[in-house]
Amino acid sequence: MSQRLPYQLVSLNWKKSRTVFEVKGTEIGGEDLFMIAGPCAVESEDQIEKVAAHIKELGIPFIRGGAYKPRTSPYNFQGLQEEGLEYLKIVSDKYNLGVVTELMDLALLPKVYDATDIIQVGARNMKNYHMLKELGKVDKPILLKRGMDATVEEWLLAAEYILLGGNEKVILCERGIRTFDTSVRNTMDISAIALAKQLSHLPVIADPSQGTGKRSLVGPMSAAAVVAGADGLMIEIHPDPENALSDGQQSLNFDEFDEILPSIKGAAELAGKLVSFSKQKKDGQKQFIKI
- Among 82, 118, 78, 89, which residue's Cα sits nearest to residue 102? 118
Q: Among the candidate windows 13-21, 37-45, 172-180, 276-284, which touches its own copies by CB under 8 A?
A: 172-180
**Binding of residue 71 to its own copies (CB under 8 A):** yes
- Nearest approach, Cβ of residue 264 and its own copies (Å): 10
**Binding of residue 1 to its own copies (CB under 8 A):** yes
- Please give the backbone phi and psi of residue 252, each rounded to the nearest 5 degrees, phi first: -95, 145
Strand pairing category for 286-288 and 278-280: antiparallel
**Binding of residue 128 to its own copies (CB under 8 A):** yes
Site for its own copies in 51-70 (CB under 8 A): 68, 70
Q: How many Å apart are CA 174 and CA 164, to the nearest integer?
A: 21
Q: How many Å apart are CA 166 and CA 133, to the nearest integer?
A: 9
**Binding of residue 195 to its own copies (CB under 8 A):** yes
Site for its own copies in 10-49 (CB under 8 A): none
Which residues are within 8 A (CB) of 68 and not within 5 positions of it... i.e. 6 or more apart? 78, 79, 81, 84, 102, 104, 105, 108, 112
- Nearest approach, Cβ of residue 236 and its own copies (Å): 16
184 neighbors 131 (Cβ within 8 angstroms): no
Q: What residues make contact with its own copies under the rule CB under 8 A?
A: 1, 6-7, 68, 70-75, 78, 104-108, 124-125, 127-131, 133-134, 147-149, 151-154, 157, 160-161, 164, 177-184, 187-192, 194-195, 198, 211-212, 214, 216-217, 220-221, 223-225, 227-229, 263, 266-267, 270
